[in-house]
Amino acid sequence: MAFLTEPEPQRGVALPVLDGIRRIVARNPSVMTYLGTNTYLIDGPDGLTVLDPGPDDDEHVADILRALDGGKLPRIVLTHTHSDHLGATAKLQAATGAEVYAYRISAKPGFEPDKPLDDGDEVAGLKAVFTPGHAADHLSFEFLVPGTGKILFSGDHVMSWSSSIVSPPDGDMVAYYKSLNLLLGRDEILYAPGHGPLLPEPRELVAELLSHRQSREASILEALREREWTVADLAEHLYHKTDFRLKMAAQRNVLAHLLKLEHDGKVVQVNGQKASALPGDHVPDDLPPGNEKDVSKAQRNMMWEDSARRFAYAG
Ligand SMILES: [Zn+2]
């Protein structure tokens, strides 16, 4: 696929992106987050907005405050509540008194936005477009940039540098397909993603992402016509990843495809039993999605059990 790369950005500085839009790239580079999370500073009709405060990192919060240069921050807007986007929110809010806007039903236990947003709601020139799939509470935002035209802050739904992980139950492949199709029918000329550089001619990549998923789905169905597979074995068969985190990401994507195929009536799960206990020593902290440091033992157990789920062709 036609993914983009960019040189490592200057750290700790708000770099100009487009007229009235700057970006601070957080210091959380990884195989899941590219060079780091993009925190956008957007000048709008009602003052400044920070879109996605980024990970819980004091240095990053200090970088954002320095970029504000003593100016007021009336609001923080979130594309979704994964920790590499939400993490710095509480500290930034405490330092600035900003109100937090996010999708009305939070996928993060314990987090509630001050100002819940729904599809079509508008705040400071940012118009919310509900795009679940990567995350159940994912919003993209349409924004008109003077002299450029309509752009979309696409969060982690569509990124310039990589495809997105779809990790159930927060991630949902049925919703992801639907949200990609939704973007194919829209007319923004440029996407500003949650990770990576600006994406020109964005619908070309959206179409590629969709056809990539469809061919992956076809390969999964073909493999299942031959025999039953566990999630782990099928991910190994299809992805050949060696890095542990990418291996886990591949398993989450395969499971998401299998659950979509189950939803479509094409496959069935054939075992309900739990996998054996989690071998804690072999599981690093930074499991997908994002480079979450706060993946709980329960979530890790869930991922481990999911890897042993076995599926068969429904005929
Ligand atoms: Zn992210």
**What is the distance between the alpha carbons of residues 140 and 191, in angstroms, rounded to a whole number?**
10
CA of 33 to the centre of ligand 1 (A): 6
Mean pLDDT (the chain) is 92
Residue 27 has a pLDDT of 97
Strands, DSSP E only, in 104-148?
A: 115-117, 122-123, 126-130, 139-145
Share of the chain above pLDDT 70, in %: 92
CA of 222 to the centre of ligand 1 (A): 32
CA of 272 to the centre of ligand 1 (A): 32
CA of 135 to the centre of ligand 1 (A): 10
CA of 37 to the centre of ligand 1 (A): 6
**What is the distance between the alpha carbons of residues 168 and 184, in angstroms, rounded to a whole number?**
24
**Do residues 144 and 150 lie in contact, with contact meaning Cβ atoms separated by under 8 Å?**
yes
Secondary structure (3-state) at 152 = strand
What's 196's DSSP letter? S
Residue 287 has a pLDDT of 54
The kind and range of the H/E element at 116 are strand 115-117
* Residue burial 205-243, b: 16+ Cβ < 10 Å; e: rest: bbeebbeebeebbeebbebbeeebbbbbbbbbebbebee
- Model confidence over 253-297: pLDDT tens digits? 999 999 999 999 999 999 865 544 444 444 444 455 544 455 677
CA of 81 to the centre of ligand 1 (A): 9
- Sign of the C-alpha dihedral computed for residues 258, 249, 236 and 34 taken in this order: positive
Locus of tokens 């195989």: 31
CA of 163 to the centre of ligand 1 (A): 12
CA of 155 to the centre of ligand 1 (A): 7
> Is pLDDT at 99 greater than 80 in this prediction?
yes
CA of 268 to the centre of ligand 1 (A): 31
27: closest CA among 40, 18, 37? Answer: 37
**What is the CB-side half-sphere exposure of residue 51 using CA atoms within 13 A?**
32
- Model confidence over 100-122: pLDDT tens digits? 999 999 999 999 999 999 999 99
CA of 82 to the centre of ligand 1 (A): 7
CA of 265 to the centre of ligand 1 (A): 31
